[in-house]
Structure 1
Amino acid sequence: MKTILLIIIMISITLTAQTHRFIYEYHYKVDSTDAERRKVSMVLDVNPSDVKFYNYDFVVTDSTNKTKGQNNIIWDDTPALIRKKNSNFNSNYINVQNMFIVDTEDHVNWKLSDETKNMGGYQLQKATTGFGGRKWTAWFTKDIALSEGPYKFKGLPGMIFEISDDKGNFKFTLVKSYKLAKTYDTTSIIENFAGQKAVKIPEAKLKKIMLDNFNDPLHEFKERIKNNTDPTARFMVMGIEVKSSEQMKELSEMTQDHLRKGNNPIELNKAVRYPEK
């Protein structure tokens, strides 16, 4: 009897030590005034000790690098965050010229509804919340006993299959899930992006850095040109080759316009207020 009990416990430990990977299809508007929405695949890794949410393209690039011995890097405007399991504290990884970590405490207060629907053979229940200055509707299932979901959305009595805001800016939909034999190592694609260890800063400092970057968006680019010793080097900004210093003002203004139009974060109440023209 004791032997049987030991086997059951060992099996249980083995199962809980696995990583549950969920793939979400993420539709989002870069510019809230534009009808166009981008679509990417996002990873939610529910590991034994932590939870990670990031772009699936990072996994593809990492796999290619390992297979072909390459050192390609990729980063974009999609969220990347890590939190301890069953915690509301998120470490947000953000790239503004350099890689930073901003720790936030994020509580999501849900209101459960009796409304249900079926999706992929699962019965989903509706829940709503106000978070980050937006109103959200989520659909979750109690059939998967994980109180998790995409981005910072967690805390429901089951797994979130779908969540969207009421303005149609953002939508996450679960499209696939499977188990990994071991925790996927994200060290080279998140924690040490391009060999650079992320620096932890307070949220207020990040906003200042973003404003400074807006006011002089080509600062580091101009420094690279200034310190360049290779006469054959070519310098590109937004697909345009820089051949003279006279171009800098126009390119800076173009970059600022791009930053204004792309200023539509998931948490609207944390949007940086860039100066208008």
Structure 2
Amino acid sequence: MKKLGILAAVLLAQATFSQTNRFVYQVTSKPDISNKGDIKTENAYLDISAEKSMFYSENRIKRDSVMKANFQSGGARGFNREQMEGLRTNMNYSIEKDKKNQKTLYKDRLGRDQYAYEEDRPLDWKILSETTKIGEYKVQKAETEFGGRKWTAWFTTDLPYQDGPYKFSGLPGLVVKAEDADGDYSFDLMKNYKISEFPEMTTFGNVIKVKRTDYVKQQEKYKSDPASFMNSQRGGGGISAPMRIGGGGNQNPADMRKRMEERAKEEAKRNSNPIELK
């Protein structure tokens, strides 16, 4: 009986550890360099299991769900423009951290395709002695320079995770708060709870794996001339599914392309102060 009790305890511990924990962060950003008074706030999820973690926008997963349901129904009703605008996000990317191999995979959409690269810059943290309390957690201060910004993070060892929002990891605890020195970006832990499994991330277009430096080059090409960039992508002249939002009816391809280019330029302006400056 004693052995059975021990076995049951072990199985319970394994089942608990195998669950996925979701940490909800409030992400505050000033993405438009010409208008820093325009502050964007949205929620993002950091889902953590024993093998990996994923960081992505709450609105992104909700928006993808709406789009997927629409496509599966044949798209007969079209998209609700107001609903889709309400699910706009400044974080179209997703970040997956492979714990076993210590690798970070970044995915983002450029035009009609998804580009993925493995982060090749390790985070070099300086852990300081300063401690405080944020919410219910005792936290300790750490600093690093990454992507052209100086970051301050506060991490806790009260939780059994060495992870954090965005690409932040490598500290001996979970990042509860991270903020850059200019106050342009901040990540603040709001709450956490368990979920049964990782959500399925919808992929539109092809997934193209590149080196980080090549991704940066493609990103610049897209910003400078979005129409030409999309013409050069695989599949020729079709319009990608995400770019059809707000359409409806049979539209002139030239008009669609013009609107698509205008939206891409507006997006580039809205994101003229990116989280990574270099």
Q: If the TM-score is normalised by the length of the shorter chain, which range does it land in?
A: 0.7 to 0.9
Matches within 5 A, 1:83-98: 83-85=97-99, 87-97=101-111, 98=113
> Judging changes above 3 Å, is the alpha-carbon distance between structure 1 residues 252 and 19 closer, same or farther for their aligned structure 2 residues?
closer
Q: Could you say which residue in structure 2 is the equivalent of 1:103? A: 118
Matches within 5 A, 1:191-270: 193-194=203-204, 196-219=205-228, 220=230, 223=237, 233-234=250-251, 242=255, 256=265, 259=268, 262-269=271-278
2:169 corresponds to which of 130, 154, 166: 154
Q: Relative contact order: is structure 1 or structure 2 higher (C-alpha 8 Å, sep ≥ 6)?
A: 2
| Structure 2 residue 65 is matched with structure 1 residue 50 | no
Counterpart contact for 2:141–2:153, Cα < 8 Å: yes
> Judging changes above 3 Å, is the alpha-carbon distance between structure 1 residues 163 and 217 closer, same or farther for their aligned structure 2 residues?
same
Counterpart contact for 1:25–1:40, Cα < 8 Å: yes
2:95 corresponds to which of 81, 87, 93: 81
Q: Percent same amino acid at aligned positions?
A: 27
Q: What's the secondary structure of 1:144's corresponding residue?
A: coil
Q: What's the secondary structure of 2:35's corresponding residue?
A: coil
Q: What's the secondary structure of 1:83's corresponding residue?
A: strand
Supply the distance in 1 between the matched residues of 2:146 and 2:134 (Cα, whole angstroms): 25
Letter in 1 for 2:9: I
Counterpart contact for 2:178–2:186, Cα < 8 Å: yes
Q: Could you say which residue in structure 1 is the equivalent of 2:245? A: none
Mean Cα deviation higher: 203-212 or 153-162: 203-212
TM-score by length of 2: 0.76
Q: Could you say which residue in structure 2 is the equivalent of 1:130? A: 145
> Judging changes above 3 Å, is the alpha-carbon distance between structure 1 residues 179 and 255 closer, same or farther for their aligned structure 2 residues?
closer
| Structure 2 residue 160 is matched with structure 1 residue 145 | yes
Q: Could you say which residue in structure 2 is the equivalent of 1:30? A: 31
Counterpart contact for 1:43–1:54, Cα < 8 Å: yes
Letter in 1 for 2:251: R
Q: Could you say which residue in structure 1 is the equivalent of 2:187? A: 172
> Judging changes above 3 Å, is the alpha-carbon distance between structure 1 residues 224 and 107 closer, same or farther for their aligned structure 2 residues?
closer
Supply the distance in 1 between the matched residues of 2:171 and 2:44 (Cα, whole angstroms): 20
Render the CA deviation track for 1:242-268: whole Å, top value 9, x for unaligned: 49x9xx6x9968955752562322221
Q: Could you say which residue in structure 2 is the equivalent of 1:16? A: 17
Supply the distance in 1 between the matched residues of 2:114 and 2:89 (Cα, whole angstroms): 12
> Judging changes above 3 Å, is the alpha-carbon distance between structure 1 residues 88 and 131 closer, same or farther for their aligned structure 2 residues?
farther
Deviation at 1:65, TM superposition (A): 6.8
5+ residue gaps, structure 2: 240-248
Letter in 2 for 1:123: K
Across the two proteins, how many residue pairs are aligned to each other?
Answer: 249
Letter in 2 for 1:80: S
5+ residue gaps, structure 1: 226-231, 270-277
Supply the distance in 2 between the matched residues of 1:199 and 1:54 (Cα, whole angstroms): 19
Supply the distance in 2 between the matched residues of 1:152 and 1:185 (Cα, whole angstroms): 19
Supply the distance in 2 between the matched residues of 1:24 and 1:65 (Cα, whole angstroms): 24
Supply the distance in 1 between the matched residues of 2:9 and 2:57 (Cα, whole angstroms): 36
Supply the distance in 2 between the matched residues of 1:167 and 1:87 (Cα, whole angstroms): 33
CA RMSD, 1 decimal:
3.4
TM-score by length of 1: 0.76
Deviation at 1:85, TM superposition (A): 1.8
Counterpart contact for 2:120–2:212, Cα < 8 Å: no
Q: Could you say which residue in structure 1 is the equivalent of 2:243? A: none
Counterpart contact for 2:29–2:185, Cα < 8 Å: yes
Q: What's the secondary structure of 2:226's corresponding residue?
A: coil
Counterpart contact for 1:122–1:141, Cα < 8 Å: yes
Q: Could you say which residue in structure 2 is the equivalent of 1:275? A: none
